[in-house]
Amino acid sequence: MKRRRMMAATIGSAATLAAIAALVTVGGPASANQQPTPTVVQQQAVLHQVSDKLPKSPAQAGRWIADGKLMVAVTNEAEAAKVRQAGATPKLVSRSQAQLDALLAKVDKITRADRGSGLQSWGIDPVSNKVVVRARGAYGALRGLGDGVQVVQVSTQVEQQAGEVNPGDPWWPGSETYCSVAFPATDAQGNKFFVTAGHCTNDADQAAYGAINQANKLGTSNVGGTHSINAREGDMGVVAVTESGWTLSPNVNTYGSPAVTVSGSADAIVGDAVCHSGNTAPNWECGTVTAINQSINYGNVTVDGLTTTSACSEGGDSGGAWLRGDKAVGLHSGGNSSCVQGDAGNSIFQPINEALAKWNLTLLTGTPDPGGDTQAPTTPGNPRSTGTTSDSVSLAWDASTDNTGVTGYDVYNGSTLATSVAGTSATVSGLSADTSYSFTIQAKDAAGNKSPASAVVTARTQPGGPSGGRTFANGTDFPIRDYQTAVSPIRSTATGRASSPFQVTVEGNHTCLEDLNISVVSPSGRWYYLQRYGGATCHPLPASKTYTVTPTGSENAAGTWTLRIGDNGPGDTGTLTNWSIAL
């Protein structure tokens, strides 16, 4: 059902004032903890329209809503007339906003020097036209500031409240550094939990907090020592949410953008556009699944069954939420210490369904707000052809932006969807030789919003049969450093299937071949090891070494092939100077 359109009368007109009067609810606004009625919500929206149209002035001293009216504190009758004309209600006061600000500055200076005397809060109250200080007991330090400062005695003590557990929120295991929440869940008895990374929950019966310095206790991590795994089986753990005041939410924290409401869980496949939320900037990042069911060697532990992606992440994102659209797919496990451009293994996650099944938990889900994220990404800019063969066209464009994050792009050949990609380039294959084609690109976000189509790119394939060259190379130098991984991509435009076997030639230098893990990753995300770490005696990496690789199943030749050289030993460095692949 479409929402009713708000009144379009000019703010300040008689029609608007009559509409406001008609909306006033007898008895005033809703009481505390009561959901505002649609009428009250609409009334407030109209009053905010009035406020937005009313310019601020030195003769004003604050605004508030009371009894269905927009109230404005004013210091003279001329300003009161302007307020009435705008459709608001003026209230004559003795102190201007500047005078209140000056008083607040004096109060703030005194209270900052003495915060141990039962102080609870202080600030400007526009209704009383005073600076109001709340304290437990009398607070004589403010005597002498005049009747513009009012001390209100209170008997309660405020403390940091609890709140919601949202996917992507931070949490603190004991006194350790923070991790991130993956997804809230419940057990058969309705008890509350959230799943996160196993390396964040390795200590049995450890207190879990919602704030730094062991504040805002949430509950207990790894209850009984049976709710955490960080081994070959997986990287997953559970925190029991037991403290009063904490509720669970299916709304993913996107850090300033509209939340994504989790509607269920799913398994990811290679090529999926995914996003993750965690507590380290930039917090909300998107990319593409590059491989699934991978065994990852973290140095101190090897974990099987993990998924790799091209999205960036940083320390502190551990345990955070991974999504495919509004479906939960994983718990953040690890990645590079910093984002590496073009690295297909930037970030790694543990599939969520395995964690839910392990501890017999039910994922908390909700119904997405249809009025939530409705903003489409911007149109992809500067679309262009970057190359052609007799049966393919390569395209590139400038990245779009979005309020929640662009998750991918759809490339259209005329009106037909040709391919979908996560990045800002694509190759459309299977075309006819010596033929003109027209392409457009649309960006999309996690909520399914799509941008307008880009400008049309027209390109003509080359004449003749398939391209003759099937060897591709990358001659950029990449340093090979101790305990780091050099990553070098190659974009293949060859058509059809890769040959079986195919050949990879590595050129460079390194003083200890036995320190190196060398692998090539296919466009499908499969890893092929060319050289494995190990050996008691060091031999230098040959200046040029060719490896013959037999694919596991069939591999498409077209796409990005990535060479990875990981140095697993100390004291030996080198350089990857060139590598090539013959497909």
Could you check whether the bond before residue 282 is cis, i.e. omega within 30 degrees of 0?
yes
**pLDDT tens digits for 221-273?**
999 999 999 998 999 999 999 988 788 888 888 876 777 889 899 888 777 77
Nearest to 43 by CA among 27, 63, 67, 59: 67
Give catalytic status of residue 199 as yes or no: yes
Residue 500 has pLDDT above 70, yes or no: yes
Concatenate the DSSP letters of all residues of 202-229 into one string.
-STTEEEEEETTTEEEEEEESGGG-SEE
Identified catalytic residue from 221, 318, 333, 400: 318
Q: Where are the beta strands (DSSP E) in 9-113?
A: 60-66, 69-74, 89-92
- The fraction of the chain above a pLDDT of 70, given in percent, is 82
Lowest mean pLDDT among 298-312, 484-498, 517-531: 298-312
Tell me what pLDDT residue 229 has.
Answer: 94
**pLDDT tens digits for 465-488?**
333 457 888 878 888 988 888 899
Give catalytic status of residue 318 as yes or no: yes
Q: Please state whether beta strands 393-398 and 381-388 pair in parallel, antiparallel, or not at all (unpaired).
A: antiparallel
Residue 434 has pLDDT above 70, yes or no: yes
Tell me what pLDDT residue 367 has.
Answer: 72
> At a CB cut-off of 8 Å and minimum separation 6, what does 405 contact?
254, 257, 275, 284, 285, 286, 445, 446
Lowest mean pLDDT among 35-44, 141-150, 369-378, 411-420: 35-44
- What's the pLDDT band for 33 if we cut at 50, 70, 90? very low
Tell me what pLDDT residue 437 has.
Answer: 92
**pLDDT tens digits for 64-82?**
777 778 789 999 999 999 9
Give catalytic status of residue 272 as yes or no: no
Identified catalytic residue from 51, 180, 227, 235: 235
Identified catalytic residue from 51, 96, 180, 199: 199
Residue 290 has pLDDT above 90, yes or no: no
Residue burial 47-60, b: 16+ Cβ < 10 Å; e: rest = bebbbeebeebebb
453 φ/ψ sector (left φ>0, alpha ψ -120 to 50, else beta): beta
**pLDDT tens digits for 374-388?**
788 899 999 998 888
Selection from 124-128, 352-356, 492-496 with the highest mean pLDDT: 352-356
Q: Name the token pair of 10.
A: 């000019």
Q: Looking at per-residue confidence, does 118 or 285 come out higher? A: 285
Residue 342 has pLDDT above 70, yes or no: no
Average pLDDT of the residues in 397-418: 85
